[in-house]
Structure 1
């Protein structure tokens, strides 16, 4: 079944439409209250001497699950590698603090040392569709879809529903973050007008305790370690976000927060309805001749090969939602990831079988011709993954 899944994923994909680091100043598109505007296509910094052994991994804030996922990868991949004469390893992963939103994408598009990023799919789709950073269709690819990121809306005791937030001060997160962009979108769709604040997670939780805020939103994969340390004694609770099929179905998913996720906030046998968005691991689509391409190829091969290690209890439970062979409609998979999936046991055999059915309608001469045609076919498919 696994073999069939890998082969089907590769074949199906071909028909798809195809801490801390210094950053440049925020672009105008990241203004929390301004409508997205088109910018010139950003250029990747290539003049800087990026570490040839280090993959820069842009994540969310250190309080978020996405940062923890990057740390999981960095720590796991660091083990089991042979070192050079000076202790150097062939592959390092460096988590880079981002905001989980547009800054993650912009960093990958521009910074020489930023190679991959976790970002909500709906947010990256919008950046491409609106041309916020120009045409990014060929600049970004995906390595694999990841997991869903839940909306965590914490509120003070006197706030019982979304309608109670009307006119109240609500924190959606730092400008350009997933919470700021998607939270504003959801509240607007549901007709809830708020007074918006733009604080980081720690400051927002403190403001909630003191009564400076009525609610605060964090978009991140559950359970968020930072929130597991909060409790009802702080005078806060999770506020339900009702899922509206009519208003939210195109971009959002229904989800649930349970006692098992946050035992200090949610009572036993209780649950809180919320919404979520899909996330994915995006990568800068370096040309094959670039040395960064080779580094990222090693990163993909190592990550995929050692993926079962992430499914143990020692790692975040969100890893168990990840299906490496899943597709991301509308995006091209990074070529090394695509090849790795194909090369798994039975993958190429399945492709050859499908190719044979194709040739039945268009017979060729003899076996040598057929073999050469198959190799040409593979090269053509790699150059034209959307065909």
Structure 2
């Protein structure tokens, strides 16, 4: 019995060491609080892991926290593309998309730049521009490419009932989201531009909402595309409301857009005839610039072809309404598009020009007054395209 116990202890020590070694080898390069803050100081050029993937059919898709809209979009892609595919010879799915939790900001970019299994990421364009300008991770112009611009992400500033305006947040405790997130970096930038000096905290969405309810925080910022499903947890009994963020063109026009939150977006917080003005930023689907002809390059090419071909499926049904803002043919000035994505767009009947021309012909038959809802109109257009494929 003693001999068996001695052998068990030796085995436990050995395998415990193996687990620790494995964890040390797979540990991410740095946590957001360690080296992912955007600053003028150059952090050095992180290296991309190039180990052969255990699953050559899986695209790693870095997105935001599970509470955000961007994570919901990644799940939309993963579940939609998983359906309707033929299986391989061993029964494997021809293409899989694996959502990977990021922070919706710097972490997303760093993961794509370093992790072997991270191929694409949703990230705010303004934040990626900051990283490029400050060279936080070296020159990323040749290491990142974009597949397509996506939707806009609105600033949701939740506030306690005693806070009636943005200026009243001066000196108050305000949560801007996890360190390195879009809210923390761009929210801090916006408040500084507007001259609002706050006491900043950096919590996750759940902890921030709890802090608001308890009165530990005066406000909390969430940057994500509306409607954010997580915000349905806010009850009228919480006395938490959405605080307007005024759009000062002379201070914000370079990277920010005016936007509006309405009752249909958040019926639990906004009255039927009311609205809340806010600001927004553009987001895009970025990808690692894998060497042409490499295994990951071919996988990413297959992903783009599949996503673009099946894109109309995301515009109907139960998919998130933010999909209806996406124009695959739109360009991202200052960045190079992934070459297979560019080729696909050029091959589709002349690309954007032909689509705009067809949409114009569709609109000719519509009355000019009282136009229908954008979603309804676009669905009509898709049905018209199906009935008139040669027009």
Query: Which residue of 286, 289, 312 maps to 1:285?
Result: 289
Per the TM alignment, residue 29 of structure 1 is displaced from its structure 2 partner at its CA by 4.3
Query: Which residue of 277, 294, 300 maps to 2:298?
Result: 294
- The C-alpha deviation readout for 1:207-249, integer Å capped at 9, x for no partner, is 1001010000000000000002312211100000000011111
For the aligned residues, what is the CA RMSD? 1.7
Matching of residues 123-202 of structure 1 within 5 Å: 123-202=127-206
Name 1:57's counterpart in structure 2.
Answer: 61
- The C-alpha deviation readout for 1:255-283, integer Å capped at 9, x for no partner, is 00000000000011100000000000000
Query: Which residue of 19, 26, 49 maps to 2:31?
Result: 26
Query: Which residue of 71, 76, 79 maps to 2:80?
Result: 76
Query: Which residue of 26, 43, 56 maps to 1:39?
Result: 43
Per the TM alignment, residue 348 of structure 1 is displaced from its structure 2 partner at its CA by 12
Structure 1 unaligned residues grouped into runs of 5+? 1-20, 351-387
- Give yes or no for the alignment of 1:325 onto 2:323: no
Query: Which residue of 204, 214, 218 maps to 2:222?
Result: 218
Per the TM alignment, residue 107 of structure 1 is displaced from its structure 2 partner at its CA by 0.3
CA contact (8 A) 2:151 2:326 kept: yes
Q: 1:37 to 1:348 in 2, by over 3 A?
A: closer
Per the TM alignment, residue 105 of structure 1 is displaced from its structure 2 partner at its CA by 0.3
Structure 2 unaligned residues grouped into runs of 5+? 1-25, 355-391
Name 2:108's counterpart in structure 1.
Answer: 104
Q: Secondary structure at the match of 1:206?
A: helix
Per the TM alignment, residue 346 of structure 1 is displaced from its structure 2 partner at its CA by 3.8
- Give yes or no for the alignment of 1:268 onto 2:272: yes
Query: Which residue of 221, 240, 247 maps to 1:243?
Result: 247
TM-score normalised according to structure 1 size: 0.82
Distance in 1 between the 2:169 and 2:80 partners?
Answer: 43
Q: Secondary structure at the match of 2:70?
A: helix
- Give yes or no for the alignment of 1:339 onto 2:318: no
Distance in 2 between the 1:196 and 1:183 partners?
Answer: 10
Per the TM alignment, residue 22 of structure 1 is displaced from its structure 2 partner at its CA by 5.5
Distance in 1 between the 2:333 and 2:176 partners?
Answer: 28
Per the TM alignment, residue 48 of structure 1 is displaced from its structure 2 partner at its CA by 5.0
Distance in 1 between the 2:352 and 2:227 partners?
Answer: 38
Q: Secondary structure at the match of 1:68?
A: helix
Distance in 2 between the 1:166 and 1:313 partners?
Answer: 43
Per the TM alignment, residue 338 of structure 1 is displaced from its structure 2 partner at its CA by 0.3
CA contact (8 A) 1:51 1:113 kept: no
- The C-alpha deviation readout for 1:21-64, integer Å capped at 9, x for no partner, is 96332264434xx8442122211100353521100000000000
Distance in 1 between the 2:147 and 2:234 partners?
Answer: 34
- The C-alpha deviation readout for 1:103-128, integer Å capped at 9, x for no partner, is 10000000000000000000001111
CA contact (8 A) 1:173 1:179 kept: yes
Q: 1:239 to 1:191 in 2, by over 3 A?
A: same
Q: Secondary structure at the match of 2:133?
A: helix
TM-score normalised according to structure 2 size: 0.81
CA contact (8 A) 2:144 2:286 kept: yes
Distance in 2 between the 1:215 and 1:349 partners?
Answer: 45
More displaced, 319-328 or 226-235?
A: 226-235
Name 1:92's counterpart in structure 2.
Answer: 96
The 4+ residue runs of structure 1 with deviation greater than 3 A are 346-350
Per the TM alignment, residue 314 of structure 1 is displaced from its structure 2 partner at its CA by 1.1
